[in-house]
Amino acid sequence: MPSRTVTRPFDCLTAMRALGEPTRLRLVRLLIGGAKPVTELCEALQVTPYNVSKHLRVLKEAGLLEVEKQGQQRIYALAGAFSEKLARNANTLDLGCCQFHFDKLPE
């Protein structure tokens, strides 16, 4: 049976710190489209598994991601509390104090 980690409640300052790195922004943009395994994220970003895992850990610890273990794979998805901050079109993250427009960020 797959297990899913429990993340902490959403915190604006923690989210801003975690999103302050371009690779992490790119990871979130990919995950807006749905849950993905680490291997798929590595391929899409052309980044080593070590680096992707490091950035995923930061996002997970910030409460922005959830991870589900399926056999040997780990599937990452946006955390529920974080997803609630996304606008209906899912390309804008509204933190109240600022907004991230994922569709306008550089690739």
Q: What separation in angstroms does the CA of 60 have from each of 30, 76, 80?
A: 15, 9, 12
Give the pLDDT confidence of 40-74 residue by residue, as tens digits.
Answer: 999 999 999 999 999 999 999 999 999 999 998 99
Give the pLDDT confidence of 66-95 residue by residue, as tens digits.
Answer: 999 999 899 999 998 888 777 666 677 777
Mean pLDDT over the full length of the chain: 83
pLDDT given for residue 33 in this prediction: 87
Which of 104, 101, 97, 105 minimizes the C-alpha distance to 13?
A: 97
Tokens of 80: 């529920």
% of the chain beyond a pLDDT of 70: 82
Domain 3-101 has CATH 3.30.1330.90: no
Full-model pTM: 0.79
Between CA 39 and CA 36 the distance in angstroms is 8
Q: How distant is the alpha carbon of residue 69 from its chain centre?
A: 16
Q: What residues pair up with 78 in beta bridges, in sequence order?
A: 65
Task: Give residue limits of the domains in the chain.
Answer: 3-101
- Pair 85, 93: CB distance under 8 Å: yes
Tokens of 91: 């390309």
Q: Looking at the predicted structure, is the pLDDT value of residue 39 above 60?
A: yes
